[in-house]
Structure 1
């Protein structure tokens, strides 16, 4: 399975009238998850999310590709 780079947000059973609406819903949920957390708690939440979602994806080749793309352009 190749890494999905095109917008791919959706909620089963929900009809969207604009292409960007599912992405807006995702962003709102992400911000809500971080609401009222300290910087340290927010970093812990991000780390837990990464591990949970990587486990859900499961395909190591896809994860390696995602890691490489995420690192690209970062100052090291």
Structure 2
């Protein structure tokens, strides 16, 4: 975690589940994300991403963490 509160360390997983490799939970998330987009049009994919962002932002709730995440997401674009 950095000074402002956004956790930039590997943090994927399910409570109580053990993984053989540290990257496996990230792979599981990526697979689920790809599956979420399966059979959607480009417009529907954009809408699904927007909904997911808003749901996760609401879950996080801390505006300072969300602002930091947005700033990092924009870096180098």
1:68 aligns with 2:68: no
Mind listing any 5+ residue stretches in structure 2 that lack a counterpart? Answer: none
Aligned to 1:41: 44
Deviations 1:23-47 (A, max 9, x none): 0100010001000100000000000
Total equivalences in the alignment: 74
Mind listing any 5+ residue stretches in structure 1 that lack a counterpart? Answer: none
Runs of 4+ off more than 4 Å: none
Inter-partner Cα distance in structure 2 for 1:7 and 1:32: 22
Output the aligned Cα RMSD: 1.0
Q: Which has the higher contact order (CA 8 A, sep 6+)?
A: 1
Inter-partner Cα distance in structure 1 for 2:43 and 2:50: 11
